[in-house]
Amino acid sequence: MSETVTGYIDHVIFRNEDNGYTVMVLKGTKKEEELTCVGSFPAITQGASIEATGVYIHHPVYGKQFQISSFTEKMPEDTYGIERYLGSGAIRGIGAALAARIVRKFGDDTLRIVEEEPERLAEVKGISEKKAREIAAQVSEKAEMRKVMIFLQKYGISLNLGAKIYQKYKESVYTILQENPYRLAEDISGVGFKIADEIAARVGIHADSDYRIRSGMLYTLLQASGEGHTYLPREQLFTRCARLLGVDESYMEKHLMDMVIDRKLVLKEKSGETIVYPAQYYYLELNTARMLNELNIVCPEDKELVRHRIELIEKETGTVLDEMQKRAITEAADRGLFILTGGPGTGKTTTINAIIRFFEGEGAEIRLAAPTGRAAKRMTETTGYEAQTIHRLLELNGMPEEERDGHSAKFERNAQNPLEADVIIIDEMSMVDIHLMHSLLLAVVAGTRLILVGDENQLPSVGPGNVLRDIIRSRCFPVVELTKIFRQASESDIVVNAHKINKGEQVQINNKSRDFFFLKRYDADIIIRVVIALIQEKLPRYVDAKPFEIQVLTPMRKGLLGVERLNQILQRYLNPPEDGKSERAVGDRLFRTGDKVMQIRNNYQMEWEIRGRYGVVIEKGVGVFNGDTGILREINEFAETAEVEFEDGRFAMYSFKQLEELELAYAITIHKSQGSEYPAVILPLLSGPQMLLNRNLLYTAVTRARKCVTVVGNEETFAEMIRNEKQQKRYSALDERIRELSETTGDNNTDGEE
C-alpha cells in the first residue's frame, strides 16, 4: 500500500543521468530520521525538500528502502531550510558560504526575494548584478519545471518521461497536451501512440479527432515496420487502423490525402493496388536504389588476363573452380556492384576466397564485413582475413537516442567520411535490413567495388525490408547463383537435406545418416527430456563441442516447446543453482552467473571492451545488437551490475535496469539464429501455427548446423513444414524503386550480364 514521506534530500548516493535513476538519503525534521529512497527523477538536488509517495521495499544487500513513485518539491519553510537548500548546489554559483550571507541579509523573505526581486541579490557581498540575473533565471526555470511536472503527473506521465517532454516543449507543453497530445508520439522517443492516446483520453479528445486518426495511421505503419514491412496496401492499412482506433474505415480516406500533402505519407501504385509508405521508408528505399544504381558501373578488365589470373589462383590454392565460380570472379572484376548467391555446399566460401585473392593480386585494399559478430567471426575463420560487423566497419558513434531519428544508428563513416577501400565484401546479406543497407551505401563511393553475398532462401532480416531478395529480383545488377553441390558437401546429409527441403522434396528420416537424425517423440515433456540428454551426454562427444555450444532452435516463443518454457527448464539442468553463483530476477526471468544469454534489442550506446592477457583492455567501442549471444560472467549485487562476455570476445557491463535487454539463450527462435552457425542444432517439433511451421523456417534451421542436426518430435509436423510454402508476406518494393531509376538512366540490365 502506498505511503507518503516528507523531508529534505541530505545527499545523493548514486544517479544515472541517462534514465534519472537515483539512490538518495532523505532526512526528516529530526536529525536521527534518515531514509534511503530510490526512484527515477528528472532533476533533483541535495537540499531540496520533498513530499514523496511510494512503498517500502527490502533490498537483499542494502536492506529497507523507500521506492518513490511520485513526489512534489516543496520550498523550505524556515531560514535553516532555506540556507540548506541554497547552499546544496541546487542553484549554480551559490555555495554554503554565499547561501549563509544571503539568508543573513534577507531572512525569511529570502525565497520571495530570489523569485520576485532577484536584482536585490546584488546587495549581498560577492554577487554582481550579472550573477543576480543568472541566479534569477535558474530559479525561474526550476519553478517552471516543477509546475510542468506536477501538471504532467495529473495525466499519469512518469517523472522520467515528464523530464523528456519538458526539455522538448518547455512552457508550450500545456497547449500541446490540450490541443494535440499525439505530437508527443512523433517528437519524443519513448512516447508511442498508446501513451499519447491515454493522455488524449484524459484530456478529453474525441475518438474521431483528426489528430487521433492521423497519429493512428502513422502508428499502424510504424508497427508494420516492426513486422518487416516498408509499406502497407491501403485497404490493409485502413483495416488495421480502424481496429486500433475503434472507428469506421471511412474516416481514413480524407486524412490519407492530407498526410500525403503534409509529406508524412507517400502513395504509390503496385500491381494495380495503392500502397502507402511512411515517408521515411519510401525515401530509404528510393535513396538505397539510387546509390545501388550509382555503384553499378562497368570496370572492364582484359578477359584473357582475368582468365589467366583465375588459372593462377587455382594452381596456387589447389582448387578447381567450376564455370559459375569463374564467372563470379569475372563479374566481380568487371562491375562496381556484384551479387553472389547460393545455398549451403555450393562453394560460396571458395568463391569469396578466390575473389579476395584476385583483388589482392591487384594490390587492392579489401574490407570484409557481416551483419553479426558471429557471422563476422565465421567469415574471418573461413577466409583467413579479418572481418568486422557492418556496425564496426561503419564506426558506430553511440549517439544518444534523442539525437537520432529513433529508428537507426548514426555512423562516423558516411557520405562526408566514406570508407577507404577498393573492394568491400558483405556476407550474410539476407540479414541486412533497409536501414543498415542505406547506411552502408552512404559510406561507399562510386568506384569502390561492392560485393554482396548471401542465400536469398534464408529468412529475411529482422528489421524492415527484404534487401537481398529485392536486389536480385530487380534483375538490374549482375548476379551469379551457385547451384552445384560440391562432392565433399554432397557427402553431408545436412547439405543434401537442406536443398531437398528448399525444393519441397521429402527427406528420409531412417537415421542411417551420420549428421542428420530424427528421433520420433509425441509428448512435449518427453521431447524436452530427450533434448536435455542430447545436450548433456550424447552430442558433446559426437561433435567435439561443449554443451553450451549446442543450440536448441524452435519455431515459436510461446507454448510447450516455445523459447520461454524451454529456457526455464534448460537453465535448471545446464546451469543449476550452486553456492557462489549469484542470481538476479528481472520480471519473470531469472539470471544466474554462467547463463547463456542473448541481447534482444539494438543498444547503440552500450559500451564494450576487448581484453588481452591479464585482463588488459586492448579495444573499446559502443553498440550491442539484437541477436548477440554470450555468457553472463558476473552479477555484482553491490554495484548492481552484470557483466556479459559475448562470443566475439567483447565484454559489456549491464546495470540491473538494463537486464531487461537480455534473455536466456539455451533455446532461441529460428529467426534469432540467422547468420549463425553451431556445431550441432537440436530442433524440437510437435505442433504450432501454420504460419510458423513452414519450409523457409525449416530450411533456415537446418542450415545453421555445421556437424549435426537432430530433430526431436512428430514426423508429420516435419513433413508438413516441407510441404508448407506459405510464409508471412513481407511488403517491400526496393526492386521496383531500383527498376524505376534504372529505366530513367537507361541502364536496365535485365539478364545480369553485359
CATH of the domain at 189: 1.10.10.2220
Range of the domain at 264: 185-280
Collapsing DSSP to helix, strand or coil, 591 comes out as strand
First to last CA, the chain: 75
122, 148, 174 - which closes a domain: 148
Domain with residue 338: its CATH number is 3.40.50.300
Percentage of residues of the chain with pLDDT beyond 90: 50
Give the Å distances, CA to CA, from 471 to 265, 352, 456: 24, 19, 10
8 A C-beta contact, residue 335 and residue 298: yes
486, 503, 519 - which closes a domain: 486
Collapsing DSSP to helix, strand or coil, 275 comes out as strand
Between CA 104 and CA 115 the distance in angstroms is 17
Select from 671, 97, 746, 650 the least CA-distant residue to 392: 650
pLDDT tens, residue by residue, 395-419: 988 654 444 444 556 899 999 999 9
Instruction: Give a yes or no: residue 734 inside a domain.
Output: no
pLDDT at 671 over 80: yes
Instruction: Give a yes or no: residue 90 inside a domain.
Output: yes
Between CA 329 and CA 352 the distance in angstroms is 9
Same domain, 261 and 325: no
Same domain, 341 and 472: yes
Predicted confidence at residue 752, as pLDDT, reads 42
Same domain, 58 and 85: yes
Average pLDDT, integer, range 114-143: 80
Same domain, 500 and 440: no
**What's the DSSP call for residue 671?**
G
Q: Sheet harboring 551-554: ordered strands across?
A: 516-520, 705-713, 678-685, 551-554, 667-669
Same domain, 417 and 544: no
Instruction: Give a yes or no: residue 736 inside a domain.
Output: no
Same domain, 616 and 701: yes
Percentage of residues of the chain with pLDDT beyond 70: 92
Predicted confidence at residue 753, as pLDDT, reads 40
Between CA 36 and CA 10 the distance in angstroms is 10
Same domain, 630 and 585: yes
Bridge partners (DSSP) of residue 738 are: none
Domain with residue 111: its CATH number is 2.40.50
**Cα pseudo-dihedral 461, 465, 470, 472, rounded to 10:** -30
Query: Nine-digit cell at 29?
Result: 525534521
pLDDT tens, residue by residue, 157-171: 766 677 777 777 777
Predicted confidence at residue 10, as pLDDT, reads 82
Between CA 597 and CA 148 the distance in angstroms is 41
Instruction: Give a yes or no: residue 605 inside a domain.
Output: yes
Query: Nine-digit cell at 156?
Result: 499519469
Question: Poorest-confidence range of 21-25, 82-86, 399-403?
Answer: 399-403
Question: Poorest-confidence range of 129-133, 371-375, 390-394?
Answer: 129-133
**Model confidence at 43, in pLDDT bands (50, 70, 90)?**
low
Q: Is 670 exposed, middle or buried (0-12, 13-18, 19+ CB in 10 A)?
A: buried
Sequence-ordered list of residues with C-beta below 8 angstroms from that of 750, at least 6 positions apart, any chain:
475, 476
pLDDT at 443 over 80: yes
8 A C-beta contact, residue 408 and residue 432: no
Predicted confidence at residue 88, as pLDDT, reads 66
Phi, psi (degrees; rounded to nearest 5) at 337: -130, 130
Sequence-ordered list of residues with C-beta below 8 angstroms from that of 175, at least 6 positions apart, any chain:
none
8 A C-beta contact, residue 555 and residue 692: yes
Same domain, 680 and 558: yes
8 A C-beta contact, residue 425 and residue 279: no
Predicted confidence at residue 90, as pLDDT, reads 64
Instruction: Give a yes or no: residue 233 inside a domain.
Output: yes
Phi, psi (degrees; rounded to nearest 5) at 409: -80, 170
Residue whose entry in the numeric block shows the C-alpha cell 516498408: 230
Same domain, 387 and 519: no
The alpha-helical segments, DSSP class H, found in 246-278 are 252-261
Collapsing DSSP to helix, strand or coil, 495 comes out as helix
Bridge partners (DSSP) of residue 3 are: 54
**Model confidence at 726, in pLDDT bands (50, 70, 90)?**
confident
pLDDT at 722 over 50: yes
Query: Nine-digit cell at 578?
Result: 550452486
Average pLDDT, integer, range 89-109: 81
Q: How many domains does the chain have?
A: 4
pLDDT tens, residue by residue, 326-384: 999 999 999 999 999 999 989 999 999 999 999 999 999 999 999 988 889 889 999 99
Size (the chain), residues: 754
Between CA 25 and CA 244 the distance in angstroms is 45
Same domain, 496 and 480: no
Predicted confidence at residue 187, as pLDDT, reads 76
Instruction: Give a yes or no: residue 728 inside a domain.
Output: no
Average pLDDT, integer, range 312-323: 91
Query: Nine-digit cell at 192?
Result: 508511442
The alpha-helical segments, DSSP class H, found in 443-551 are 467-473, 487-490, 493-503, 524-533, 539-543
101, 129, 148 - which closes a domain: 148
Phi, psi (degrees; rounded to nearest 5) at 344: -65, 145
Same domain, 547 and 398: no
Q: Which residues are annotated as a binding site?
A: 345-349
Average pLDDT, integer, range 537-548: 93
Same domain, 243 and 318: no
8 A C-beta contact, residue 568 and residue 585: no
Bin 63: left if φ > 0, else alpha if -120 < ψ < 50, else beta: left
Bridge partners (DSSP) of residue 411 are: 396
Instruction: Give a yes or no: residue 275 inside a domain.
Output: yes
Predicted confidence at residue 400, as pLDDT, reads 47
Q: Which residues are annotated as a binding site for ATP?
A: 345-349
pLDDT at 155 over 90: no
Query: Nine-digit cell at 264?
Result: 508524412
8 A C-beta contact, residue 149 and residue 166: yes
Sequence-ordered list of residues with C-beta below 8 angstroms from that of 740, at least 6 positions apart, any chain:
289
pLDDT tens, residue by residue, 586-645: 888 899 999 999 999 888 888 999 998 888 999 888 889 888 999 999 999 888 899 999
Between CA 117 and CA 352 the distance in angstroms is 75
Sequence-ordered list of residues with C-beta below 8 angstroms from that of 584, at least 6 positions apart, any chain:
590, 591, 635, 637, 642, 656, 659
DSSP E strand boundaries for 279-421: 337-342, 366-370, 387-389
**Model confidence at 438, in pLDDT bands (50, 70, 90)?**
very high
Predicted confidence at residue 402, as pLDDT, reads 43
Average pLDDT, integer, range 480-500: 87
Give the Å distances, CA to CA, from 326 to 217, 306, 330: 50, 9, 6
pLDDT at 695 over 70: yes
| Mean model confidence pLDDT for the chain | 87
Predicted confidence at residue 340, as pLDDT, reads 97
DSSP E strand boundaries for 491-638: 516-520, 551-554, 583-586, 589-592, 596-599, 603-611, 617-624, 629-636
pLDDT at 219 over 60: yes
Instruction: Give a yes or no: residue 753 inside a domain.
Output: no
Question: Poorest-confidence range of 339-353, 404-418, 461-475, 523-537?
Answer: 404-418
